[in-house]
């Protein structure tokens, strides 16, 4: 299985495919900041600190696994937001470690609506670790067991938000940095490909039903060389502290979600049920998210979201 995965990984780079140059998240609804830098500072009353662990295609060895920790905060002037994120993403012998810092500027349109613009500065290290034993009987493709490259990157986003609705657009890999790990199979023609995101949602409440709310939302994703992928989501909130939801990712999977808050803390679980061709090899994917709302007055019982 390891050799098969290695060959797939090498083919991925050698063919300059862009299927998953950015990590895949299931619980981005709990942290839109990981998709759109304009979100930094959008929570005025607290600063959300989140830790996420995502494992893709459980049951298959060395499949993609992603972890991140993020924090963003609105400054005292009420018009600027800052944020930071550290992430780790691995797929077989390929590993990506990165850090990003964010600046966002928030404009007040009226008493209910704000619009923000944010930019990320990102540095990523790509590491490839392969031993010669993995290519026993085949022509060696690497001269060293471990090679790495550090590349800069950037992303940009615009975000509009109010109490009941939100929408945003963003683009990642703005610089389209070129990667050259080994002159034999990754050369200057290989580069990061821009990824585009558009998202939006609305939370509906009902007269006389203060403890019950429904939030439909959608996320559109595409690159300059791949078609649209659409996530359609529905979440149900109960007492502003519990939620359950369902997300359908076109051509890939549907996701069951659950989360709750306790004082300043938050926990969420998502499980992806795959219906693509991989469904015969995996039981799905899983993501856990832990959150802590820094600065919030827990005595008020404010919900995480």
Q: pLDDT tens across 81-140, in order?
A: 999 999 999 887 888 899 999 999 999 999 899 999 999 999 999 887 766 455 544 444
Can you tell me the mean pLDDT for 210-226? Answer: 89
Asked if residue 305 is part of any domain, the answer here is no
Asked if residue 23 is part of any domain, the answer here is no
Task: Report residue 202's pLDDT band, with 50, 70 and 90 as the boundaries.
Answer: very high
For the whole model, what pTM was predicted?
0.81
Task: Report residue 297's pLDDT band, with 50, 70 and 90 as the boundaries.
Answer: low
Domain count, the chain: 1
Asked if residue 271 is part of any domain, the answer here is yes
Residues paired with residue 249 on neighbouring β-strands, in sequence order: 231, 253
Q: Which domain holds residue 38?
A: 2-17+29-298
The rounded mean pLDDT for the chain is 81
| Residue 86 · residue 66 · CB < 8 Å | no
The two three-digit tokens of residue 110, written as one number: 């009226």
Q: Is 188 helix (H, G, I), strand (E, B) or coil?
A: coil
The two three-digit tokens of residue 142, written as one number: 């690497």
Asked if residue 175 is part of any domain, the answer here is yes
Residue with tokens 């109010």: 162
- The per-residue b/e assignment along 187-219, b for 16 or more CB within 10 angstroms, e otherwise, is eeebbbbbbebbbebebeeeeeeeeebebebeb
Asked if residue 22 is part of any domain, the answer here is no
Asked whether the predicted pLDDT for residue 3 surpasses 70, the reply is no
- CATH number of the domain within which 74 lies: 2.40.160.60
Please give the sequence-ordered ranges of beta strands (E in DSSP) within 75-177, or none if there are none: 80-91, 94-108, 114-129, 146-161, 165-172
Asked if residue 237 is part of any domain, the answer here is yes
What's the pLDDT score for residue 21?
A: 59
Residues paired with residue 157 on neighbouring β-strands, in sequence order: 118, 170
Asked if residue 304 is part of any domain, the answer here is no
Count the neighbouring beta carbons within 10 Å of the beta carbon of residue 152. 10
Asked if residue 110 is part of any domain, the answer here is yes
CA dist., res. 115 & res. 208, Å (int): 31
């Amino acid at each position: 299985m390891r050799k098969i995965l290695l060959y797939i990984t090498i083919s991925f780079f050698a063919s300059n495919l862009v299927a998953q140059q950015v990590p895949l998240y299931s619980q981005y609804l709990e942290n839109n900041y990981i998709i759109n830098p304009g979100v930094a500072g959008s929570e005025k009353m607290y600063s959300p600190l989140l830790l996420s662990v995502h494992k893709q295609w459980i049951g298959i060895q060395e499949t993609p696994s992603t972890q991140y920790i993020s924090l963003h905060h609105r400054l005292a002037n009420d018009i600027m937001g800052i944020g930071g994120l550290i992430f780790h993403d691995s797929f077989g012998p390929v590993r990506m470690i990165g850090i990003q810092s964010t600046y966002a500027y928030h404009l007040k349109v009226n008493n209910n609506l704000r619009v923000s613009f944010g930019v990320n500065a990102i540095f990523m290290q790509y590491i490839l670790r392969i031993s010669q034993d993995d290519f026993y009987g085949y022509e060696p493709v690497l001269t060293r067991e471990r090679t790495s490259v550090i590349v800069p990157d950037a992303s940009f986003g615009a975000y509009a938000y109010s109490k009941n609705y939100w929408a945003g657009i963003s683009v990642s890999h703005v610089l389209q940095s070129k990667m050259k790990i080994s002159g034999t199979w990754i050369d200057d023609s290989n580069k990061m490909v821009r990824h585009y995101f558009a998202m939006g949602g609305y939370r509906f409440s009902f007269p006389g039903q203060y403890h019950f709310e429904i939030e439909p939302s959608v996320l559109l994703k595409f690159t300059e060389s791949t078609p649209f992928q659409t996530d359609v989501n529905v979440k149900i909130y109960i007492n502003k502290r519990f939620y359950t939801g369902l997300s359908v990712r076109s051509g890939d999977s549907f996701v069951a979600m659950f989360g709750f808050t306790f004082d300043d803390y938050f926990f969420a679980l998502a499980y992806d049920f795959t219906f693509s061709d991989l469904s015969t090899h995996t039981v799905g994917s899983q993501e856990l998210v832990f959150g802590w709302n820094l600065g919030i007055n827990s005595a008020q019982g404010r919900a995480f979201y």
